[in-house]
Chains A and B, each alone.
Chain A
Amino acid sequence: MAKKLGMTIDLKRCMGCHTCSLGCKMQNNVPMGMLWNRILTIGGEDVDTARGEFPSLEKSWMPLSCLHCENASCVKVCPVGATYRDEDGRVLINYDRCIGCRYCMAACPYNVRVFNWQKPVREPGHSYGEAPVRAKGIMEKCTLCVERTAKGQEPRCVEVCPAKARKFGDLNDPNSEVSKAIRERGGQQLLAEKGTKPQVYYLR
């Protein structure tokens, strides 16, 4: 059976340290001024603030990047087929094809796509990754670290998370770590009512 690569993110484990966000940025040579993977503080007014009324306060985080939807709105709307789903279920962008119409950005229900509004600026010495660099006028976003995962490695965010909140694997394999976690912990998809069927599940 074909693979359906996916991820689980354990929100009980995530401690909002932003390590995965920066690991991603370096791995993928993400230009300055944008991130493929960002950590949102749930409900709080500002970063790392609690929600609720004293004394019933709570604080938690939700990492957010492309969720690699099975029924991806971005893939449907791309007029030139630059955004596509590969055979392992990753949603990818062909940087040589994208015309920069930004329709996909309007169509994604999660605000996870980022666009090169200008000639990308990268901090010298901070480009370690294998990902090809993108040009001005092109869309980009999380690729599930296709350069790594195609070789059987884990995505960088999974590897660097000090709290081991992230797991990566094949959702079509019922015995994979991710499938088990989704079953046992009742994995949830973000905005499931939109029907996009994300392949990244949150464990709450």
Chain B
Amino acid sequence: MENRGNLKMSLGILGLLTLLGLIAWVYQLSNGLIVTGMRNVVSWGLYITSFMFFVGLSAGGLIVSSSATVFDIPAFKAVAKPAVILSTVCIILAGLFIVVDLGSPERILYLFIHPQFQSPLIWDVVVIAIYLVVSLLYLKHMTQPAPDYRKLATMSAVALPAAVLVHSVTAWIFGLQIARVSWHSALMAPLFVASALDSGLALLIIVLAGLERYSDYKVEPKLYASLAGLLAAFVAVDAFFVFSEVLTAAYPGEESVTAALGLLLSGPLAPFFWVQVVLGLAVPFVILASAANRQSKSKILLAAALVIIGVFCKRVWLLFSSFLLPLVEGAPGITLGQAPAAGAKLDMWAMAGSYTPTLVEWAIFIGIISFGGIMFIIAARRLLWAREDTARGIRIAPTAAK
């Protein structure tokens, strides 16, 4: 089968990229986070952005699939399996992004040995762990030859709130910080859940189309139209929250908030903000709002891709809007934390933040995502392809099945 050759090749390429990422991580481990673009002013970067992004993608997928059972939407049940595989993979990736962000990852077990429950980061560790267990159990039950529907219903009743919670807690990591004006907002959790819903669903749609193209997995064409309708609604909710947040920030004209807002509207973060607003919210909504467009798979896919890009941009502007401006002003500013190279002019100060991810960060970023691709392909092959065989009660090793 020609697909098998393709599959091997894509696994090979993904494996290579994963390996490259791993090498980059080893390099980062031995040199420290100095090999990234992060310093004392902008102390979080691409890794944390991706962490938020993947928690969102994951939560979105699980929310859609578990609400299929909870609210008994038969049409959506068909996609429950790929959706849960997808959200499991995404949550693992989110966890990996935290691991590579740590300055002393060899102490990561301290998170479990010495948890300090006042920290939202520990809340996140707890809910992500629960979430992962729930997703795996859910997946296990779902892929039983004869799934027990009562159990599935219970599982999804747990999975749905867990998915909402996991993204809310991630939002609270930022939203509870009084130090940072552009994060400190009660709307942070709803805002995060909204982007989880739209980006997660968008990714699910794209993955379904991919599965259809590259495997024997079949999706009813009508399903795309109804998922697209749902996506339009999610996008609208996301846009509503963003608007409400920006309006609330802008209206009083308070100095520090206005400065942070300036970064978004016309400052260095403007490209990300406006790409999200225009390409990530307005355009997809216009496309999906028309019933005729919802019949066209390619238009739906275009809209879904735009939503995902938009939500990534949203993560970027959300994170950095609080990092670029110094919290206490005054020359010479903040020390960056980088020792000057031998003989170089002493340049350890910054009056404002700036950040560009380095090659190492990109390599690790691509490596982690490629690893996710591998996990997804392998899981999908085992759990989706082999469906017919297991349905008949014969368990055939996936490689032998083809």
Contacts and interface: CB of A to CB of B under 8 A. Distances in A.
Contact of B119 (A41, A76, A115, A117): A76
B348 interface: yes
Pick from A47, A115, A139 the residue with the most CB of B within 10 Å. Answer: A115
A114 B333 CA distance: 13
Contacts of B110: 80, 97, 99
B103 A116 contact: yes
B103 A40 contact: no
A122 B146 CA distance: 66
B226 interface: no
B328 A137 contact: no
A12 B83 CA distance: 64
B119 A79 contact: yes
B32 A137 contact: yes
Given A40-B328, A77-B119, A34 B104 contact: no
Given A79-B122, A105-B40, A118-B31, A64 B335 contact: no
Contacts of A33: 335-340, 348
Contacts of A103: 119, 121, 173
Given A34-B40, A78-B116, A119-B32, A101 B328 contact: no
A100 B111 CA distance: 12
B335 A35 contact: yes
Contacts, number: 177
A102 B179 contact: no
If over half of A's interface residues share one DSSP class (helix, strand or loop), that class is named, otherwise mixed; here it is: loop
A195 B176 CA distance: 13
B178 interface: yes
Contacts of B178: 73, 109, 194-196
B330 A62 contact: yes
Contacts of B44: 102, 106
A156 interface: no
Contacts of B330: 40-44, 62, 64
B270 interface: no
Nearest to A49: B331
Nearest to B334: A111
A81 interface: yes
If over half of B's interface residues share one DSSP class (helix, strand or loop), that class is named, otherwise mixed; here it is: loop
Contacts of B43: 102, 105-106, 115
A79 B115 contact: yes
A195 B337 CA distance: 28
20 contacts: A40-B330, A40-B331, A73-B178, A79-B116, A79-B125, A80-B107, A81-B114, A81-B116, A99-B103, A99-B105, A99-B108, A103-B173, A105-B40, A106-B179, A115-B33, A117-B38, A117-B103, A119-B31, A120-B339, A191-B328
A188 B333 CA distance: 21
A136 B31 CA distance: 9
Given A79-B116, A99-B107, A118-B339, 8 more contacts: A40-B328, A40-B332, A77-B121, A79-B111, A81-B114, A97-B114, A102-B43, A137-B32
B326 to A, nearest CB: 6
Interface in B25-50: 31-34, 36, 38-41, 43-44
A196 to B, nearest CB: 8
Contacts of B31: 118-119
A98 interface: yes
A62 B41 CA distance: 19
Contacts of A136: 32, 103
Interface string A34-68: 11001011111111010000000000001010000
Contacts of B120: 77
B118 to A, nearest CB: 5
A15 interface: no
Contacts of A78: 116, 119
A108 interface: yes
Interface of A: 31-35, 38, 40-47, 49, 62, 64, 73, 76-81, 97-103, 105-111, 113-121, 135-139, 190-191, 194-196
Give the interface size bracket for B toward A: 35 or more
Given A73-B179, A78-B119, A81-B116, A111 B336 contact: no
B327 interface: yes
Contact of B337 (A34, A80, A110): A34
A140 to B, nearest CB: 10
B102 interface: yes
Contacts of B335: 33-35, 38, 114
B356 to A, nearest CB: 15
A121 B174 CA distance: 32
Given A73-B177, A117-B33, A118-B34, A45 B331 contact: yes
Pick from A45, A78, A102, A120 the residue with the most CB of B within 10 Å. Answer: A102
A120 to B, nearest CB: 8
Q: Which 3 A-B pairs have the closest CB atoms?
A: A100-B103, A40-B330, A137-B103
Nearest to B121: A79
Given A80-B111, A117-B33, A107 B179 contact: yes
B101 interface: yes
Contacts of A110: 179, 327-328
B180 interface: yes
B125 A137 contact: no
A107 B328 CA distance: 14
A27 B152 CA distance: 62
B104 A99 contact: yes
